[in-house]
Amino acid sequence: MSAETATENELLLQFLYACPVGLVEIEADGAIGMINPLAMQLMVPLMRPPQGMNFFDIMEPYAPELRNLVEEFTALHGEVCSNLRIFISPGTKQSGYLAHVLSCTLVRLAADRFMATLSDVSKVVAQERRLGEAEVWFSSLLDGVSDFAVLSLDAQGLIDGVSASALRQTGFSNEDLLGKTLDVFDSPTPATSAVTVTEQISLACRDGWYLIEGWQKRKDLPADWCQRLIAVRSEEGEEDRTVTGYTVILREVVRQKHDALELKQMLTRDHLTGASNRAHFFEIAGRECSRFVRYGHSLSVVALDIDHFKSVNDTYGHAAGDKVLREVSRRCMVLLRPADTFARVGGEEFMVLLPGTDLRGARLLAERLRSALENMTVSYGNEMITVTGSFGCAEAVPDTSSPAPLMESADRALYNAKQMGRNMVVLAVAGEVPGE
């Protein structure tokens, strides 16, 4: 080795050690060629045998879409993904309910060489979430005093108060609106009709508020594109809070290249299957746990793992495996209620969040899902692929204030289902949810 080359290598090593982010050089199949100390520090807790030193295998339980993004990237050079949020685990009481989140950027350096950067953005994500919630309110109330309208709904969801600006914006009169539901404004389109007014109010009760965009019908006027924010009004009782009504803000907005619904899909959906992604699941599960602690409504989780999925990939290839994952997601999602959340949380692992559902209800749903998969056939080329699924069900117990123990309990029940022969539903042992 020449002196010049040795000097260059020494400078490179100094850079790698001093770099404030994790750096991982990988091949197209995920094999790790170089990794700096910070990246190793971030990745070691994620490693499970027998993954070895393969970046995609290590990240598969947390960001299964990384492999697909690389496979689908056709440019010879450039950024494959930028600041992709990878949710490792939900917040616990010990962590101050701070979710563990990594940020990943992948860049193609050459035909078979990629560089991944990793950094821990857990605190940043928590701050962004708090700021985002505040921004919803401020953008609706302060971004111009003449472009929003306010309505009041009673506890049954009927309009009992209308501001003058609402009358001007919609063209309706008080007589047209009082005693009616928000359906009076709806102009359904394929993008907006999937969430009914009843479901919007239910989701507002779940999260404290609900925001949606869509076409708003106006009396004797063309429909306009409108942002609708439904906020819950409640009173503190001796034992819990009682919903007394809702405040609704209607705000005309200019449609951008991607409207809010499309953007929400991009941020909350799994790249491959269309199911909710891991990050969105953690966010919704955290809110549901808070609601469970406050109101005591039932809350359950179903964990699902596709049996022998590795053999599908090994026998037919990753493209066939991807098709199976998409079909499994489709078959499962059509069996769920609008308030349920179906998410891909790992390579072939999914979870279903079931608000207002006890363990018995979770078992009945899991049996329907299991039967749907057992009777499913996926065609790939000249092959017909059949799969089954194993399921674990768990119900929240008192003081379940974060998703982590509930998910762990469902995972243990899922593990037992696989140990007992697969293609079955197993319930978590009563009281098994670990303390925090």
According to the 3-state scheme, what is the secondary structure of the chain? CCHHHHHHHHHHHHHHHHCCCEEEEEECCCEEEEECHHHHHHHHHHCCCCCCCEHHHHHCCCCCHHHHHHHHCCCCCEEEEEEEEEEEECCCCCCCCCCEEEEEEEEEEECCEEEEEEEECHHHHHHHHHHHHHHHHHHHHCCCCCCEEEEEEECCCCEEEECHHHHHHHCCCHHHHCCCCHHHHECCCCCCCCCCHHHHHHHHHHHCEEEEEEEEEECCEEEEEEEEEEEEEEEECCCCEEEEEEEEEEEECCCCCCCHHHHHHHHHECCCCCCECHHHHHHHHHHHHHHHHHHCCCEEEEEEEECCHHHHHHHHCHHHHHHHHHHHHHHHHCCCCCCCEEEECCCCEEEEEEECCCHHHHHHHHHHHHHHHHCCEEEECCEEEECCEEEEEEECCCCCCCHHHHHHHHHHHHHHHHHCCCCCEEECCCCCCCCC
Residue 192 has a pLDDT of 45
Domains and CATH numbers, the chain: 3-122 (3.30.450.20), 144-262 (3.30.450.20), 269-427 (3.30.70.270)
Q: What is the pTM of this model?
A: 0.61
Query: How does pLDDT run across 259-271, given as a tens digit for each residue?
Result: 455 555 666 788 8
Q: What is the pLDDT of residues 310-361, one digit of tens each?
A: 999 999 998 999 999 999 999 999 999 888 999 999 889 999 999 999 999 9
Active site residue 175: no
Catalytic residue among 327, 348, 349, 395: 348
**pLDDT means over runs of 10, the chain (436 residues):** 61 66 91 90 84 86 89 89 85 63 91 91 72 52 56 92 86 91 74 67 79 81 82 68 85 58 66 88 86 84 95 91 95 91 93 94 96 93 94 90 89 95 90 45
